[in-house]
Amino acid sequence: MYAKVRPAFWTAVFALIACWARPAAAWIELDPKGLLSTVDVAKDGHATISHELTLELRGGPLKQLELGTADADAELLPDASVTRVSNGVSTPLVVERHADGSLGLEVDLPKGLRGGTYLFKVRYRTDLAGRGLVRRRGGAIELSWVGPKLESGLDGARAIFRLPPSETAPRLPLVANDDPDPSFGVMVAAIHHTPESDEIELVRSHVARGEPVLWRVEASPLAVTLGAEPAAQAKPEPALVRALPVPVRSRRWPITASIFALIFALAAALKSRASKLACRERQAVPRSLVPLAAWLRVSLAAGALAGALSAGRELEEPALAALGVLAAMLLVTERAPRLERVPRGPGRWLSLRDEDAFKGRRPRAAGRLLDAGTLPGLLVLLGLLAATVALALGALGRSPFEALLVALAGAAFMPIFFTGRPSELVRDRVDHSRRFMRGLARTLRARTSAKTVAWGRVPDAGSEPDELRVLVQPKDGLPGLVALEMGLDVQRGLGGVMGVPFVIVRAKEGSPAQAALPRGVIWARGRKADERVAILSPKLPTIGLTAALVERLLVALAGQAPSKRRMSSGSSAFTSKLASVRSPAHAT
């Protein structure tokens, strides 16, 4: 494959990607470190509630914060503040109550808050008894209160209930074995009794994203005075559970993960099919890194990618997501196909006209849209990368972790474009060598006076040549010299398929032409019994060095022999080591 890398094009592409800026958006990441809610209950059922939320802030600036409380009748108190933990500097907060009971906290600073750990404090009053959250249950009083919900989840939420003093200490409500427990996971951390109040501290080890926690306490009927029980309070306990706000989970990320998995599965299936078609045309055997059936590999890869994105987002484990993406990449990775050695039938070598021999054909290879070695495939890959970068930048404002997952999902497509490429298989050997042979013929005609013609091998059972060479016949060659032939050998390297040029010297056995070459050259039998051939290669597979090698051979094989009869085996006209014949097929 002969390709010219254009640094200016790639420089421009990467410069556009690097300079692509979306509208200014602050990068903010909030990590709750602790939440303490204190419920100070009065004798009449009113309560003063205070929240102390500890947040670790990355990025900034942070100017507003939403606290998802459920107390719609909250009467705000004017002492809300935010304190930086590292230096103790306190800043007032402007608090606004929304219709659903949530609180909007606005930082009273022009530039907002920057990275660090902060303690937010806010207080308000609410009527627990008037809202039906204080009710009689047997011979006791049960208080229920729903704590604030956080979008990022929390480990270690705490709530303290302070009640008027009584003879019975507050405790968790008893739940029968067959009754639902809406406060599952809540434990008692401490109970304190003082002459002024009875205090119980409750702890929940983990709170999920967007989940409101129901705190329940059972106390003495003397702690809170209730009048006639309203009809709303007479409902059984399950009615209270059904009335609790249910966290609404966003479907945006599951839909995004499913779309990525579907596109990935479709691309992998098309690539597997194209690889099989290309190998069938070239008489090769496709091979995958994981030796499974194509449909099974594609299904497992799509499932691994979808699972990596979903589980990684839910668990917030980048290592787990990376392992899933890596598994998907390994499942769709193709190994280099194994070429079958098929002997060609008999044929004859004929001189061809340049317009017939060097006229290029462009066969449409299967799967070129998923092959980074072709222009359409490269454009599709760049479009996919651009879409991935756009989605990652769009998710960066919401969550840097989602942006990371989007980037990982885009990386999963790389093996589809860079492995198992149909361009690595030479579908037509003549078409592959046509461009090189045309350039070599033009160069030799410009530099030498020898007869230079296109030389093609036509099978006996066909009319189109299956191999193309250039034939050179000097006008004043040494006795015994038949001709020089230049061809192109197709080999697979680290970068894919490449052409390696060679030069064949044909001479009669024991003739002066055979004796004119260095002793290190190996001679083999040619097309006829009395013909011997030597196969040489330039140091680099370029048209210029191949033409230079032919020129030196013409000088060495000219009728007017040079002063030194033999060229040394280390002459720059040949490769440094001439110890083997390339292939017996080249001699015929």
Q: Give the pLDDT score at 250.
A: 56
Half-sphere exposure of 222 (CA within 13 A, CB side): 7
For the record, the structure tokens of 310 come out as: 């979903």
Same-domain check for residues 554 and 492: yes
User: Residues 503-517: what's their mean pLDDT?
Assistant: 89
Same-domain check for residues 394 and 455: no
For 27-48, letters b (16+ CB in 10 Å) and e give ebeeebeebbbbbbbbebbbbb
Whether residue 522 is contained in a domain is answered as yes
Same-domain check for residues 526 and 378: no
> Among residues 409, 419, 402, which one has the least CA distance to residue 384?
409
Identity at 125, one-letter amino acid code: R
Domain count, the chain: 3
Percent of the chain with pLDDT over 70: 79
- Residue-wise pLDDT for 281-292, tens only, equals 777 778 888 888
CATH number of the domain to which 83 belongs: 2.60.40.1730
User: Residues 388-405: what's their mean pLDDT?
Assistant: 81
- Residue-wise pLDDT for 66-109, tens only, equals 888 888 888 888 888 888 888 788 888 888 888 777 888 888 78
Q: Give the pLDDT score at 314.
A: 74
Q: Is the pLDDT of residue 552 over 50?
A: yes
> Among residues 184, 202, 178, which one has the least CA distance to residue 241?
184
CA atoms of 360 and 435, how far apart (whole Å): 8
Whether residue 573 is contained in a domain is answered as yes
Query: Please, which pLDDT band fits residue 46 given cuts at 50, 70 and 90?
Result: confident
Q: Is the pLDDT of residue 564 over 70?
A: no
Mean pLDDT of the chain: 78
Q: Give the pLDDT score at 161.
A: 92
CB atoms closer than 10 angstroms to residue 101: 18
CA atoms of 459 and 349, how far apart (whole Å): 9
Whether residue 233 is contained in a domain is answered as no
Q: Is the pLDDT of residue 496 over 50?
A: yes
Q: Give the pLDDT score at 407.
A: 85
Whether residue 372 is contained in a domain is answered as yes
Q: Give the pLDDT score at 561.
A: 46
Q: Return the minimum-mean-pLDDT range out of 141-150, 231-240, 505-514.
A: 231-240
Q: Which domain range does residue 546 map to?
A: 429-587
List Cβ neighbours of 266 (8 Å cut-off, separation of 6 or more): none
For the record, the structure tokens of 403 come out as: 């942006």
Same-domain check for residues 418 and 437: no
The DSSP bridge partners found for residue 52 are: 36, 121
Q: Give the pLDDT score at 27.
A: 65
CA atoms of 236 and 264, how far apart (whole Å): 51
Whether residue 304 is contained in a domain is answered as yes
Whether residue 172 is contained in a domain is answered as yes
- Residue-wise pLDDT for 451-485, tens only, equals 888 888 888 877 788 888 889 988 888 888 888 99
Same-domain check for residues 357 and 478: no
Query: Please, which pLDDT band fits residue 324 given cuts at 50, 70 and 90?
Result: confident
CA atoms of 406 and 399, how far apart (whole Å): 11
Same-domain check for residues 448 and 579: yes
For the record, the structure tokens of 586 come out as: 């080249």
Query: Please, which pLDDT band fits residue 569 given cuts at 50, 70 and 90?
Result: very low
Q: Is the pLDDT of residue 9 over 70?
A: no
- Residue-wise pLDDT for 216-275, tens only, equals 888 888 888 776 544 444 444 443 333 344 444 556 777 878 888 888 889 888 888 888
Q: Give the pLDDT score at 423.
A: 61
CA atoms of 60 and 114, how far apart (whole Å): 5
Same-domain check for residues 387 and 480: no
Q: Is the pLDDT of residue 329 over 80?
A: yes
Question: Which alpha helices (H) appear in 283-398, and where do they start and end?
Answer: 294-315, 318-332, 354-357, 375-396
User: Residues 556-583: what's their mean pLDDT?
Assistant: 49
Tell which of 389, 424, 459 closes a domain. 424
Helix (H) or strand (E) holding 126: strand 116-127
Q: Give the pLDDT score at 572.
A: 45
Same-domain check for residues 153 and 166: yes
Q: Give the pLDDT score at 585.
A: 59
Percent of the chain with pLDDT over 90: 5
Q: Give the pLDDT score at 366.
A: 62
Whether residue 23 is contained in a domain is answered as no
Q: Give the pLDDT score at 434.
A: 83
Same-domain check for residues 494 and 433: yes
CA atoms of 554 and 536, how far apart (whole Å): 13
Tell which of 424, 446, 462 closes a domain. 424
Tell which of 409, 424, 439 closes a domain. 424
Whether residue 563 is contained in a domain is answered as yes
Same-domain check for residues 219 and 181: yes
What distances in angstroms separate CA 439 from CA 296, 358, 433, one per listed residue?
Answer: 47, 9, 10
Same-domain check for residues 397 and 487: no
- Residue-wise pLDDT for 332-375, tens only, equals 888 877 766 666 778 888 888 888 788 766 555 566 788 887 78
> Among residues 516, 536, 534, which one has the least CA distance to residue 525?
534
What distances in angstroms separate CA 97 from CA 52, 53, 74, one per listed residue?
Answer: 17, 17, 7
Query: Please, which pLDDT band fits residue 50 given cuts at 50, 70 and 90?
Result: very high
User: Residues 283-311: what's their mean pLDDT?
Assistant: 84
Three-state SS sequence of 300-311: HHHHHHHHHHHH
Same-domain check for residues 341 and 445: no
Query: Please, which pLDDT band fits residue 2 given cuts at 50, 70 and 90?
Result: very low
Query: Please, which pLDDT band fits residue 123 given cuts at 50, 70 and 90?
Result: very high
Q: Is the pLDDT of residue 530 over 80?
A: yes
